[in-house]
Amino acid sequence: MDKKLILSGIQPTGTFTLGNYIGAVRNWNTLQDEYNCLYCVVDMHAITVKQEPAKLRKNTLDAYALLMACGIDVEKSTLFIQSHVKSHAELNWILNCSTQFGELSRMTQFKDKSKRYADDINAGLFTYPVLMAADILTYNADLVPVGIDQKQHLELARNIAQRFNQRYGDLFTVPEPYIPEVGAKVMSLQEPEKKMSKSDDNANACVFILDDKDTVIRKFKRAVTDSGCEVRYADGKDGINNLMTIYGAVTGKDFSSIEAEFDGKGYGDFKIAVGEAVADCLAPIRENFAKLSTDKAYLKKCYTEGAEKALRISQRVVTKAMRKVGFVDR
């Protein structure tokens, strides 16, 4: 039986956070043997907000190298840069014409980003969920690994696929979400009711996967918890719940095991243990990235071959979509 196809992408807007790794990238690695995986650095999505061109190029290459350092194997998976595959932009326009204005206006992330980037509310910021749908549908992906905050965008992609299929005849696979049960959402270390974000103004709120061991442990020592002292998972204990979620994700232990391990110990001991466990988990990634990021020729070979493979797969779907809407064959 053919393997199901999974597609996911990540924006090249700086070094990945621990949240990116636990919630998404680490799971991509484990999916490679079970599924036919396509992974991309979505640089086209990145320009919905102002970018410095030279920095974007560097961040894109770093993101590509980081994915490989995290375990994405280019022999098993198709790993490419989004803008290198024209199919995404071509299908994007067709899907824009099958998307309702009202659907896009209800996107939570558009509302949030409009407040944050009030001086640059461009059309791309409004319509980028359609490009995200094109990313998925141009490969007829069966599954899309998504964080909890991306479920709305995947639902839109499903609606667009169903609407197109009803109007023009079956073409697109209606994608399903792949959401890991543990560690799907890592919260800020300083405001644990908020998602961990690389753009947080507080340097202690976010752990980056290239942070050295001392930095990682220092950030966890400063993590916000409640006024109690018992390591117990419970409602209203957002800070300690977040730390337990992180510790469980990097050690494989469930909450009961964690509670038993730290029975009689305070938050101080637990924070250090979490920091050390995270630092140990990230150490191989830092080492791999240091090697890969200096081998420009090898990286270019990998992303060129990845794009060529992605183009061959995607153009079959785009050509059919063009024919279905009535375009003359080129």
Catalytic residues, by residue number, are 113, 195, 198
79 has which bridge partners?
39
The three state secondary structure string of the chain is: CCCCEEEEEECCCCCCEHHHHHHHHHHHHHHCCCCEEEEEECHHHHCCCCCCHHHHHHHHHHHHHHHHHCCCCCCCCEEEEHHHCCHHHHHHHHHHCCCCHHHHHCCHHHHHHHHHCCCCCCHHHHHHHHHHHHHHHCCCCCEEECCHHHHHHHHHHHHHHHHHHHHHCCCCCCCEEECCCCCCCCECCCCCCCECCCCCCCCCCCCECCCCHHHHHHHHHCCCCCCCCCCCCCCCCHHHHHHHHHHHHHHCCCHHHHHHHCCCCCHHHHHHHHHHHHHHHHHHHHHHHHHHCCCHHHHHHHHHHHHHHHHHHHHHHHHHHHHHHCCCCC
